[in-house]
Amino acid sequence: MKREAVFVSEEELNRQRAFAEAVRENPDRPESYYVVTYGCQMNAHDSEKITGMLEDMGMKPAEKREDADFVIFNTCCIRENAERKALGNVTWLKEVKKTRPKMIIAVCGCMVQEPGMAQRIFRKYGFINLAFGTANLHKLPEYLHRVLETGLNVVQVENQDVIAEEIPVRRLRYDFAYLTIMYGCDNFCSYCIVPYVRGRERSREPEAILREARELKESGVREIMLLGQNVNSYGKGIPGGFGFPELLKELDGLGIPRIRFMTSHPKDLSDRLIDVMAGSAHILPQFHLPVQSGSNAILEKMNRHYTREQYLERVRRLREAIPGIGLSTDLIVGFPGETEAQFEETMDLVREVGFDSAFTFIYSPRVGTKAAEMPDPVPEAISSVRIQKLIALQEERQQEALQRFIGTEEEILVEGLSKRSSRAVSGRGTHGISVTVDGTEADIGEILKCRITGLKNNTLTGERADQ
Ligand code: 5AD
Ligand code: SF4
């Protein structure tokens, strides 16, 4: 059964195809494009859709952004510095545009979807020809057509929570693919702007996901990464209790060599999911499980719906069911009111778990979120000392944690030549950790068996075990 309200209609998609054709036929259309991407995997995949639509409209990639006729910035707004960086780079292009008046500058993504941002862009950044949000990505052909026809700036943000299937996609790699399973987030963690800019949580139909996965397999893809803000809660609105574990089971049966997913929320990590992972053939033994803080008082203020003890219990259960599982996390320091003792509880948790990697952030207030209204901001000077301590501890623990791989075998999907040597290649192992081994360009896109022999700067080094 299709949940019509959520889906962009076939009629609308056909309208967009007609606009794409009109742009393609327009002799004044841009010839070349350049896409600049900030932020998470969701954005990286949206950029693949943008690229697909631009190619569909007849454009070719430019080598450098300053040479392109059409430059689009796909922005992020999760922290203030992400936003500052994007706006700074867009403004830099304003100077280039003075010498190339036909250049079209577009901005899209999460930042544009922020309340008030579209008006700000329209009033203050007149050199931006086109701006649209995350909800109306599929309408790029219509907007570009309007810019070309009228010569006016188009700034358009919509708030509908939709799923647009069948947008042309140009994937960046042929061996690896992102596959979105759900959009948006309903969790409203008090610091996070995502629910406001990516909308309510909505899951794609299982059949649509499985069809895309089968097509990817047939095209030779060796690894897929399932994407969603909170993949564990996949299935809201889908009849018959078909949730994330059921979806994983179906995908595992397709025979794609490697399947990963991100991101997960600890509160939704069920025993059923762990059991499905443990019993699967192709779901990789890796879990990104953001904890954010080790203090129960802070977790509550963050609206995370779990305690430190519950988190540690999930980690224990994961490690029991999938020995050696790769574990990574996200951590925030300097949340409003965070005391030294509460920060130390985060340090303790990091010491106790021994993550294979962690993304560490200084809390950044985002307008419109609950936390932005909370009292007792932590001074920047204190937050930066805390984050340095946390990074130092994590590096130390990471070195210890990664020792467990030495002497084991790991299969890697080769991503490219190693940065350090032209006779070595690197790729990600099944546990999510980078491994460098001897190899050449011909190995890119291949799965290699390696024996892990050492550890250098958080990268495992190995010997090939396939020859
Ligand atoms: N400040 C700092 N870090 C944040 N994150 C999300 N919102 C904020 C914020 N306002 C971090 C969280 C999340 C990751 C994607 O970004 O750790 O898991
Ligand atoms: Fe943001 Fe929390 Fe949703 Fe993650 S789960 S996107 S941190 S609101």
Which ligand gives the minimal distance to the CA of 333? 1
User: What pLDDT sits at residue 171?
Assistant: 85
- With pLDDT > 70 as the criterion, what percentage of the chain qualifies? 99
- Residue 467's pLDDT band, with cuts at 50, 70 and 90, is low
Give pTM, 2 decimals.
0.93
CA angle 128, 134, 138 (to 5 degrees): 90
pLDDT in tens, 11-29: 989 999 999 999 999 999 9
The span from the CA of 321 to the CA of 293, in Å, is: 24
pLDDT in tens, 371-402: 999 999 999 999 999 999 999 999 999 999 99
The span from the CA of 359 to the CA of 398, in Å, is: 12
Query: Residue 223, Cβ neighbours under 10 Å: how many?
Result: 22
Residue with tokens 């305690």: 307
Q: Is the minimum distance from the CB of 414 to ligand 2 under 6 angstroms?
A: no
Kindly tell me if the per-residue pLDDT of 4 is higher than 50: no
User: In the chain, what are the domains?
Assistant: 5-161 (3.40.50.12160), 176-401 (3.80.30.20), 406-464 (2.40.50.140)
Q: Of 38, 189, 330, which is best to mutate to test ligand 1, by the most ligand atoms within 8 angstroms of its C-beta?
A: 330
Provide the phi-psi class of 200: left if phi over 0, else alpha when psi is between -120 and 50, else beta: beta
Tokens of 332: 């925030």
> Can you say how many angstroms the Cα of residue 1 is from the centroid of all Cα atoms in its chain?
29
Question: Angle of helix 140-150 relative to helix 41-56, nearest 10 degrees?
Answer: 50
| Ligand 2: centre distance to CA 380 (Å) | 23
Q: β-strand 424-429 against 409-417: which pairing, if any? A: antiparallel
User: What pLDDT sits at residue 74?
Assistant: 96
Q: Is the minimum distance from the CB of 189 to ligand 2 under 6 angstroms?
A: yes
Which ligand gives the minimal distance to the CA of 362? 1
The span from the CA of 285 to the CA of 322, in Å, is: 7
Tell me what the mean pLDDT of segment 50-69 comes to.
96
Tokens of 1: 């059964």
| Ligand 2: centre distance to CA 192 (Å) | 6
Q: Is the minimum distance from the CB of 229 to ligand 2 under 6 angstroms?
A: yes
The span from the CA of 402 to the CA of 384, in Å, is: 26
Q: Is the minimum distance from the CB of 332 to ligand 1 under 6 angstroms?
A: yes
| Ligand 2: centre distance to CA 62 (Å) | 35
| Ligand 2: centre distance to CA 325 (Å) | 23
Q: Of 188, 191, 194, 355, which is best to mutate to test ligand 1, by the most ligand atoms within 8 angstroms of its C-beta?
A: 191
Cα distances from 163 to residues 15, 38, 68, 208, in angstroms, run: 16, 22, 30, 11
Q: Is the minimum distance from the CB of 265 to ligand 2 under 6 angstroms?
A: yes
What is the position in ligand 2's atom list of the atom closest to the CA of 304? Answer: 2
The span from the CA of 142 to the CA of 49, in Å, is: 15
Residue with tokens 């309007």: 146
User: What pLDDT sits at residue 1?
Assistant: 40
Q: Residue type at 445?
A: G
Cα distances from 428 to residues 72, 260, 458, in angstroms, run: 30, 11, 12
The span from the CA of 394 to the CA of 386, in Å, is: 12
Which ligand gives the minimal distance to the CA of 194? 2
User: What pLDDT sits at residue 188?
Assistant: 95
The span from the CA of 338 to the CA of 363, in Å, is: 10
Q: Residue type at 30?
A: P
| Ligand 1: centre distance to CA 190 (Å) | 10
Tell me what the mean pLDDT of segment 166-191 comes to.
91
Nearest to 226 by CA among 182, 287, 194: 182
Tokens of 53: 């639509």
Helix H or strand E segment including 314 = helix 308-321
- Of 15-24, 166-175, 257-266, 457-466, which range is least confident? 166-175
What is the position in ligand 1's atom list of the atom closest to the CA of 330? Answer: 17
Better pLDDT: 116 or 275: 275
Tokens of 70: 């059409």
Q: Is the minimum distance from the CB of 40 to ligand 2 under 6 angstroms?
A: no
Q: What is the mean pLDDT of the chain?
A: 94
| Ligand 1: centre distance to CA 332 (Å) | 7
The span from the CA of 405 to the CA of 354, in Å, is: 14
- Of 76-80, 215-219, 238-242, which range is least confident? 238-242
Q: β-strand 60-61 against 70-75: which pairing, if any? A: unpaired
Residue with CA at minimum distance from ligand 2 atom 5: 187
